[in-house]
């Protein structure tokens, strides 16, 4: 599924200071699939006039932490 998703979604390769990766790993592929499933489940408004309950940058950061968890 990650192989098919890579055409429409950008890979986020999780990096650490002590370990640098060039290619995505299985955990990166799993995170890509989770990110896709979350995007189809939780939608955010594209309009700027609506009330903001959770700032978009905070939501995206929390999402990125969650897709790599476990």
Q: What is the pLDDT of residues 34-49, one digit of tens each?
A: 888 877 776 666 666 6
pTM over 0.75: no
Are residues 14 and 31 in contact, defined by beta-carbon separation less than 8 angstroms? yes
Percent of the chain at pLDDT > 90 equals: 0
Which whole-number Å values give the CA distances from 41 to 19, 34, 46, in the listed order? 32, 10, 15
* Mean pLDDT rounded to a whole number for the chain: 77
Are residues 13 and 24 in contact, defined by beta-carbon separation less than 8 angstroms? yes
């Amino acid at each position: 599924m990650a192989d098919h998703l890579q055409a429409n979604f950008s890979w986020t390769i999780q990096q650490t200071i002590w370990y640098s990766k060039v290619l995505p790993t299985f955990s990166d592929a799993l995170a890509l699939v989770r990110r896709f499933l979350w995007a189809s489940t939780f939608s955010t408004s594209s309009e700027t006039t609506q009330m903001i309950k959770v700032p978009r940058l905070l939501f995206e950061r929390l999402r990125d932490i969650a897709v790599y968890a476990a």
